[in-house]
Amino acid sequence: MSVVGIDLGFLNCYIAVARSGGIETIANEYSDRCTPACISLGSRTRAIGNAAKSQIVTNVRNTLHGFKKLHGRSFDDPIVQTERIRLPYELQKMPNGSAGVKDKMQVDQEDGHQKCHAEHTPEEEIDHTGTKTKSTPSEKQDRLNQTTKRGKVKSIDLPIQSSLCRQLGQDLLNSYIENEGKMIMQDKLEKERNDAKNAVEEYVYDFRDKLGTVYEKFITQEDLNKLSAVLGDTENWLYEEGEDQPKQIYVDKLQELKKYGQPIQMRYVEHEERPKALTDLGRKIQLVMKVIEAYRNKDERYDHLDPAEMEKVEKYISEAMNWLNSKMNAQNKLSLTQDPVVKVSEIVAKSKELDNFCNPIIYKPKPKVEIAEDNAKGNSEHNGQMDGQSGTETKSDTTKDSSQHTKSSGEMEVD
């Protein structure tokens, strides 16, 4: 068995069903569980709920709402008379003494001035007790004749006038623009100040975290205790005295922290990147030494190189190897907490210097050989030898019997 409950509220109405599973509020045709307590009366239609509420502005005189407080009260009740002044629609005294609502309809006529007022009173009076009074047959026929008349629509031009009475003066407008620019600048400065403060806070948290992980091997215990105390003091300062300080104060505080942290960070970065730079320089030295060895062994790929320049290359490579070995030996003697003897930037610069000095010499291309002229010369010598052989053969043949070599004029002589 189900139970239906209806709540007729002052502003909204609800309908709920109580079943075994619980209480469910029924949704209306707009999928809304709350239905506005509104009624809108049109010339031929009536709307209730959400559809009526949407006409409160467009059809204000004929849209009824907020009438629950009138239920059960007479028209002469002081409360009804007080509310009558505030309501946009008109109230009328019903025959039984209760308060009813007068509905006014307006229909445009041909001249645009004639109006037809259709009233629910006395033709059809609606009160809030639910009772209706029927009109007489003659009045009903007159009302039907009036509603069946079709009025013509007449279009007229509406004049549009612009009023500048509320326009701001130029001086006042300029002052507003200036104030807006000042506020924009103030917001920008505030953002920069907050960014500087956040940078200090981020550096404190990030560096303190790395001191216990990646930077642990590159700082002594004494320096670790000192730097941890500095970071802790800075953190406390941020949340106390440094809560609201100018931008420059935060910038100076960050630079002060970096004086402690940059040497540690530099040792870590150098330790990570140094092996790769040393390997690259050593590989280039080995390549040049192989070229020097091939040149000494009379390799045809390098027989065109200038001996004086190769001597310079050999001397340079020897100095580079001595420099590399000395730096590596000195660095191996240091601990990770000490500053490096040679930096990665110096090793990379040495590698580039080696390329610029040695590569133009050892990779110098061979000079081009004029093969075409040599071939032409060789062909001419070969043709000369062939001509000499043929001359001796003809000479020996002429000493023989000339009658054997006599040919007719029509035959060709072929060697």
Range 67-73 contact pairs with CB under 8 angstroms and sequence separation of 24 or more? 67/37, 67/101, 67/128, 68/8, 68/9, 68/10, 68/37, 69/10, 70/99, 70/128, 71/128, 71/129, 72/129, 73/98, 73/99
Are 274 and 334 in a shared domain? yes
Are 282 and 225 in a shared domain? no
Are 281 and 195 in a shared domain? no
The range of the structural domain enclosing residue 228 comes to: 191-262
Are 244 and 276 in a shared domain? no
In a domain, 235, yes or no: yes
**What are the DSSP E strand ranges found in 119-164?**
124-127, 132-134
Sequence-separated (6 or more) residues with CB below 8 Å from residue 249: 242
Ordered per-residue pLDDT tens for the chain, 415 residues: 678 888 877 788 888 888 766 788 888 887 788 888 888 887 778 888 888 888 878 887 788 777 777 777 888 888 888 888 778 778 888 888 888 777 655 433 334 444 434 344 444 444 444 444 555 556 656 665 655 555 566 777 777 665 555 667 788 888 989 999 999 999 999 999 999 999 999 999 999 999 989 999 999 999 999 999 999 999 999 988 888 899 999 999 999 999 999 999 999 999 999 999 999 999 999 999 999 999 999 888 888 889 999 999 999 999 999 999 999 999 999 999 999 999 999 999 999 999 999 999 999 888 876 655 555 555 555 555 555 444 444 444 444 444 444 444 444 454 4
The pTM of this model reads 0.47
In a domain, 296, yes or no: yes
In a domain, 93, yes or no: no
Q: Return the CATH number at 341.
A: 1.20.1270.10
User: What are φ and ψ of residue 74, in 5° steps?
Assistant: -80, 160
Are 280 and 247 in a shared domain? no
CA distances from 187 to 180, 196, 198, 339 (A): 11, 14, 16, 44
In three-state secondary structure terms, 189 is: helix
In a domain, 92, yes or no: no
Are 276 and 358 in a shared domain? yes
Residue whose structure tokens are 């290359």: 313
CA distances from 67 to 6, 63, 104, 399 (A): 17, 11, 17, 156
Amino acid type, 60:
V
- Nearest 5°: the CA angle 7, 13, 18 is 50
Are 282 and 349 in a shared domain? yes
Q: For residue 131, what pLDDT is reported?
A: 45
Q: For residue 121, what pLDDT is reported?
A: 43
Distance CA 158, CA 244 (A): 61
In a domain, 200, yes or no: yes
Q: For residue 390, what pLDDT is reported?
A: 46
Instruction: Find the DSSP H helices in 240-370.
Output: 247-296, 307-332, 344-362
Domains contained in the chain, number = 2
